[in-house]
């Protein structure tokens, strides 16, 4: 294991976050805080409870997940796309560092940034709404799994995209809509039966639902189904990344 190379790439990516602190941390925290103010404090105070939980507290897990998914993808995709754009990827491929070590460094840095962001948003939410966490360790496990999985997805997008505009296509046109329709602001039990069935085909439902269970022991689907879905998606992403390095897809072109 080439720990020196892993450390070099990891620290470089983390240093980029420090240089762009306003964009990487402050901006998503501020935008999520606006959701807490508008939906949690203002609108939430006028709404009835959902499953015995105040509306402001109910949306906390969903909003954290919304930021976590988008930032994990953004951090990882930009991190690997820049070396491809500048040509530095050839130096990385020629260096004595394996594909596993390369992915570990890039994805590890992206997941770390997303995890820190998620914890900051969690702490910030306390300023606006009162919430509880029934299973803190399970909540952290869900945060880590989600950060790693979607950082891997971001890595795949960063390799696939042949321009900066394509980096935003999947996060903006697919991930964000799926998150908004995945029970972030409501329980799917509030939907008509037909749309409840349709919603179950949205993979983000299982992420938000499982994460919410760690807070309140209330969810739309079983916690074990949620873990199964995130694990399955993690395996699919890992297999896809392995195929990318095996074939050299868009890395050696």
Q: Which residue has the tokens 């990516």?
A: 13
Report the alpha-carbon distance of residue 108 to residue 39 in Å, rounded.
33
pLDDT grade for 37, boundaries at 50, 70 and 90: confident
The range of the structural domain enclosing residue 239 comes to 3-247
pLDDT grade for 237, boundaries at 50, 70 and 90: very high
Q: What is the pLDDT of residue 32?
A: 86
Question: DSSP secondary structure string, 214-231?
Answer: HHHS--SS-HHHHHHHHH
**252 belongs to a structural domain:** no
* Per-residue pLDDT reduced to its tens digit, 53-83: 888 889 899 999 988 998 899 889 988 888 8
pLDDT grade for 45, boundaries at 50, 70 and 90: low
* Per-residue pLDDT reduced to its tens digit, 108-158: 999 999 999 999 999 998 888 888 999 999 999 999 999 999 999 999 998
- Structural domain count, the chain: 1
**128 belongs to a structural domain:** yes
Contact (Cβ atoms closer than 8 angstroms) between residue 172 and residue 90? no
Q: Which of 9-13, 80-84, 92-96, 230-234 shows the lowest per-residue confidence on average (mean pLDDT)?
A: 92-96
Helix (H, G, I), strand (E, B) or coil at 236: helix
* Per-residue pLDDT reduced to its tens digit, 173-226: 888 888 888 888 888 888 888 888 888 899 899 999 999 999 999 888 999 999
Q: What is the pLDDT of residue 252?
A: 67
Q: Which of 107, 109, 116 is nearest to 29 (CA)?
A: 116
- How is residue 87 written in tokens? 């040509």
- How is residue 151 written in tokens? 């950082």
Contact (Cβ atoms closer than 8 angstroms) between residue 119 and residue 20? no
- How is residue 150 written in tokens? 């979607």
- Does 4 score more than 70 pLDDT? yes
Helix (H, G, I), strand (E, B) or coil at 251: coil
DSSP 108: H
- Dihedral, 11, 207, 37, 125 alpha carbons, nearest 10: -60
Q: What is the pLDDT of residue 232?
A: 94
**253 belongs to a structural domain:** no
- In whole numbers, what is the pLDDT of the chain averaged over residues? 87
**81 belongs to a structural domain:** yes
- Does 23 score more than 80 pLDDT? no
Q: Which of 71, 172, 62 is nearest to 122 (CA)?
A: 62
Q: What is the pLDDT of residue 136?
A: 94
Q: What is the pLDDT of residue 211?
A: 93
Question: DSSP secondary structure string, 38-107?
Answer: IIIIIIGGGS--BTTB-HHHHTHHHHHHHHHHHHHHHHHHHHHHHHHHHTTHHHHHHSS--HHHHHHHHH
Contact (Cβ atoms closer than 8 angstroms) between residue 20 and residue 5? no
């Amino acid at each position: 294991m080439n720990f020196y190379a892993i450390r070099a790439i990891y620290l470089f990516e983390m240093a980029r976050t420090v240089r762009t602190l306003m964009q990487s941390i402050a901006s998503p925290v501020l935008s999520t805080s606006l959701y807490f103010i508008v939906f949690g404090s203002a609108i939430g105070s006028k709404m009835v409870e959902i499953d015995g939980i105040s509306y402001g507290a109910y949306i906390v897990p969903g909003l954290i997940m919304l930021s976590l998914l988008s930032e994990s993808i953004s951090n990882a995709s930009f991190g690997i796309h820049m070396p491809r754009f500048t040509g530095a990827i050839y130096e990385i491929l020629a260096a004595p560092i394996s594909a596993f070590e390369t992915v570990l460094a890039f994805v590890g840095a992206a997941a770390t940034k997303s995890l820190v962001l998620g914890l900051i948003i969690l702490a910030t939410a306390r300023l606006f709404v009162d919430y509880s966490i029934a299973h803190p360790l399970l909540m952290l496990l869900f945060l880590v799994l989600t950060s790693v999985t979607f950082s891997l997805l971001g890595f795949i997008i960063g390799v696939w995209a042949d321009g900066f505009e394509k980096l935003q296509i999947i996060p903006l046109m697919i991930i964000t809509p799926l998150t908004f329709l995945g029970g972030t602001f409501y329980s799917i039990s509030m939907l008509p039966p037909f749309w409840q069935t349709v919603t179950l085909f949205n993979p983000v439902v299982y992420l938000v639902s499982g994460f919410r269970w760690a807070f309140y022991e209330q969810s739309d689907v079983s916690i074990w189904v949620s873990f199964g879905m995130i694990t399955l998606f993690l395996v699919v992403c890992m297999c896809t990344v392995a195929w990318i390095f095996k074939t050299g897809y868009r890395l050696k072109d």
